[in-house]
Amino acid sequence: MSIVFAAITPHSPLLLPTIGKEHVNQLSATRIAFSQLAEDMYSHKIETLLIISPHCTVKNSAFLINQSPEFIANLEKFGDFTTKSNYQGDLGLTHEIREGLEVEAPLNLITMSELDYGSLIPLELLTMGLKPQIMPVYPSTGNLQDHFIFGQQLKNFLISSPKRIGIIASSDLSHKHAVSAPAGYSPKAQKFDYKVIELLQKKQTSDLLNLKPELLAEVAECGLRPISILLGILDKTNYSVQKLSYESPFGVGYLTMKFNI
């Protein structure tokens, strides 16, 4: 059945009531958007979910795919000792990609049962009525064009799969919207986020891939590499873009966007 679902989501731990507590209402627009995506995922009967996160705990210059057969939820470092979930990995698809790309792309496999929070937060909010197999993918240290090309290479395996596949680019935009933000403040933060949203909506992929590295560093984003992989996967696919929400109550830009395929 190939790719039937794709989206960009934020990954703030504050989205979970067990962590956000009284602050969770300040992310109401994003939580409503997640509910819409969860319903869409359920209706599309997603069997395998490819989740692209920028927060792998393993430092590596290559692209990474986590080939663990089972994954566990652990958010204790955020003070959440109640979240107890597990997910099954799609080992078959992982090994097909590894064998097909081992000489074509800088790709390494890792085996870690504990999911990073960039993968886990969207999973906890999107899979409440559905438990697809998952395949966590992590960016490299390359530029945005490298990530787009890697997405194009992944696409060849995804479109030939008999499974119903969904893709999540777990991505926060600028972390510098306020002086109180963890990364501090940049006057370019809001303009950057609006520009990224505009380029995505107009499908001006080339302009997005050519955003200057100096600007990306200035605004402290962690979303463009996962988004670039997603755009590579969707390259030459007939899709429309639907912005479900955007807000930045805590100094970080949170975009939730659906790609209608």
Domains, the chain, with CATH or none:
2-260 (3.40.830.10)
Tokens of residue 45, six digits: 């009967």
pLDDT of residue 60: 84
Give residue 57's pLDDT band: very low, low, confident or very high (50, 70, 90).
confident
pLDDT tens for each residue of 172-194 = 999 999 998 888 999 999 999 99
Sheet holding 107-110, edge to edge: 107-110, 63-66, 133-138, 48-52, 164-170, 2-9, 254-260, 240-247
pLDDT tens for each residue of 61-113 = 999 999 999 999 888 989 988 888 899 999 999 999 999 998 889 999 999 99
Q: Are strands 254-260 and 70-72 parallel, antiparallel or unpaired?
A: unpaired
Query: pTM to 2 decimals?
Result: 0.97
pLDDT of residue 258: 98
User: Burial level of 34, CB count in 10 A (0-12/13-18/19+)?
Assistant: buried
Percent share of the chain, pLDDT over 70: 100
Give the distance, in angstroms, between the CA of residue 69 and the centroid of all CA atoms in the same chain: 20
pLDDT of residue 97: 95
CA nearest neighbour of 226 among 56, 58, 96: 56
CA nearest neighbour of 57 among 10, 125, 117: 117
pLDDT of residue 1: 54
For the beta carbon of residue 101, count every other beta carbon within 10 angstroms. 18
**Through-space distance between the first and last CA atoms of the chain, rounded to whole angstroms:** 12
Contact 89, 97 (CB under 8 A): no
Quote the CA–CA distance of 40 and 186 in Å, as a whole number: 35
Of the two residues 53 and 1, the one the predictor is more confident about is 53
Contact 219, 186 (CB under 8 A): yes
